[in-house]
A = this chain, B = another copy of it.
């Protein structure tokens, strides 16, 4: 591979000139530039990123932090769609992604510390838990940052229009004739959960529908199992809902499971609508009608907001809310007379 010293020796120029030629400085003649590039190609020269970063204070790396709350990490079907799209967008600008550990030579360190150690140019955090101390610390720092799926006044954020999504869901059920509409909700400590609850309440109010006792049930953190449990609570009610709006697709899978185990049919007995539009719900029975979050667009928006800060070299606080849309499949039907 070699260094610029080797290149300098080989071509007879100084390392200064070599470096300039490589970096397209204008004060080197076309002829010498050509010679140097030629020599570089011949010896497969590649600049050392660490030396460059040390000297320029720019690492061309973006640190990514996943919420580890549920220990799924990159397996999360919604988050990994976002990160994939984010990666594509930043890759085009020449950035690499680094997934940091919290372990430095067996010494524990926070994500912020690790990112500072690595001197990343920016940080993306994909996390729903606003109480996470690690995330708080990142947000307080002065490194360019964008956080996804969570709101904050102190840094750039991007998330879906959860209130509108909830409204879409409720209105859709209403138009199918449903009046007894329940909501299986995500925990209120999670922004997405709270916003969808709010949207549900708003929509119900706008439609002059009462939220009957027990119709708003907290199902925690979006897992299949929690969804199932929540639905079982609804099925115990004397006054059962005819439709349920579920705050997440994974939960909705559990919800459908519970309904089926109860001997009821989806959607003939109970309609269910989910949220997210993760891939697998196209393959369950019935195919789930849901509110689609556009992971591609979320990832791109996040990249955009972060790149903006990195080139401006200052923190900005922009909020980007991505529209959602309803995807009609087969889990909702007109209410039975």
Contact = CB atoms under 8 A, between A and B. Distances in A.
Contacts of A88: 73
Nearest to A286: B285
A235 interface: no
Interface in A289-312: none
Given A74-B74, A90-B101, A94-B103, A117 B285 contact: no
Assembly stoichiometry (copies): 2
A200 B54 CA distance: 55
B118 A49 contact: yes
Interface in A68-127: 72-75, 77, 80-81, 83-84, 87-88, 90-106, 109, 113-114, 116-119
Contacts of A116: 1, 46
B105 A101 contact: no
A74 B91 CA distance: 14
A131 interface: no
Contacts of A53: 50
A24 to B, nearest CB: 9
Contact of A285 (B113, B224, B284): B284
Nearest to A61: B98
Interface of A: 1, 46-51, 53-54, 59, 61, 72-75, 77, 80-81, 83-84, 87-88, 90-106, 109, 113-114, 116-119, 224, 253, 257, 279-280, 283-285
CB-CB nearest 7 A-B residue pairs: A280-B280, A91-B101, A285-B285, A97-B99, A50-B53, A50-B50, A50-B54
